[in-house]
Every structure is written in C-alpha cells, then in structure tokens.
Copies of this chain bind each other. A is one copy, B any other.
Amino acid sequence: MTNVRAGKSETGKLHQYMEIGNELRRRITLGQYLVGSILPTEGMLCEEFTTSRHTIREALRMLTDAGFIERRQGSGSHVLTAVPSQRYVHDMWSLDQLFQYAVDTRFIINDVKFAVPENSMLSDVSGGKAEWLIVHGLRLERDEDIPICFSIVLVNRDYASIAEELETGSGAIYRKIEDKFDIKVSQVIQDITITTMPQRAALVLDKTTLDVAVQVRRRYLLADGTVFLVSVNQHPADEFSYTMQLRREGEN
C-alpha cells in the first residue's frame, strides 16, 4: 500500500488512473501490447497496479476515448491501433451550417419531377438506374432577390413523398425528411469541384461574363450507408468562399 498515492508525491500530481492509463498507452505504442491482441483483464490489471477495479476502468476509459482500444463485454479490451487517428471536430448547430445556409437564405423551387438522374451527379451512389425525386431550384438571400446558387436536390424514392411538403416551411429538405420519416443523418460526404456553369443556371443567375462555377455536392447517408439525399449546388466562382474550422479533439 505504500505506493497507492505514489502518483502524487513522485511524478508531480497525476492521478492514479492517469498514470496507469499513460503506462498502458506507452505499452501499446511500444508494441508491448500488439495491435489486434487483447489487453490483460481488469482483474489482472488490478493486481499488477495494486488498485481497485474502478481505477483501472477509468484508465481504460482514457484509452477508449483516445481510440487506442475497443472494449467488448464478455470478450475483452481489444487493441485497435498504436497510432490512433487524430480527430478534428466540426461544431455545428445543424448541417445547414456546413454551408452558410443557416437562416439567411430561401429556396425557390423551379421544378419537381421523378426520373433517373444524369450519371454525373450520382456517380458511385446509386448502383443503377433507380428513379429519384429531382428538385431544381434557386437559393436566394432572404428578403432580397440576390441569387446565391443554383441547386439540384435528389431524394431517394423511399422518401419521395416529401414532395408534397416542399413548399411549406423554410428548412432544408434533408431536415424535413428527417422529421417526417424519423430518421437521422449519420454521415455527410461533401466534394467540391470546379465546373462550367450549365446554360440554364447561368441564365437564371444572370452570369454572362464568367461561366466558371464551383460545384458543391453533398451526399447524406444513414447509419446503414444508404444515401437518402444528394444535393448539388453551383455557385458563381467570383462570389464563392467557403470556410471551415476544425478543432483538435481531446489531448491525444
């Protein structure tokens, strides 16, 4: 029992569970505990460090949060990696803020139909020639008539009945679907490319001089990997600016 409080007097002021957590992390980093293998059980660690189970569990929670291990009831603490990936966090109130669509824009629908979309927009999304609900529209600054971008939204057929409610309210379409069908976006994949502005969009946005556009495509996925909505926004290049802020998480 002499070293129960060793952490405080010797190395400064670390708590027991932190010292143990750091030691275990060191062992993983040094390959003493191999990736793919299983850590000693809680009981064994209690013995080795002469401490209570709760303390060991707190130490293991550190490793879990940092991404080193995964714990499975009945199975053990599995070592996932010796070099966990950094996690950078994007804080948002809603996905709308992924772009600046938050509250200051409105969406004007030009056309709604049910058809097979052009391939370029659904590359690597829908395996075949399924029909999607296709909404063409224009996004404007609220209370002004200044256009921001030309928009196409594709909705998976399973949720196509949302078409009836597109004119009401002001929120984003993906959000209306979330509410109506009680589903949740689990992942978003966004890509940004440069294209030439389609004729149709150029006309509406009154851009005759510069036909370069920034195309931002976002795919909204459910937990099972299903793409339930794809949005494609085309911005005049001369007005495009996109900022994102990533904060490093934890202290890894």
Contacts and interface: CB of A to CB of B under 8 A. Distances in A.
A89 B249 contact: yes
B92 A88 contact: yes
Interface string A177-194: 000000011111111111
Number of copies: 2
Contact of A83 (B85, B93, B249): B93
Contacts of A2: none
A245 B88 CA distance: 11
Interface string A74-92: 0000000001011111111
A248 B185 contact: yes
Contacts of A89: 87-90, 249
Interface stretch (A12-20, A40-48, A152-160, A234-242): A234-242
B240 A194 contact: yes
Given A193-B241, A194-B194, A92 B98 contact: no
A246 B90 CA distance: 8
Nearest to A215: B241
A139 to B, nearest CB: 18
Given A192-B242, A245-B189, A88 B90 contact: yes
A246 B237 CA distance: 24
Contact of A247 (B92, B184, B186): B186
Interface of A: 83, 85-95, 98, 184-194, 212, 214, 237-238, 240-249
Which 3 pairs, one residue from A and one from B, show the smallest C-beta to C-beta distance? A194-B237, A191-B243, A192-B242
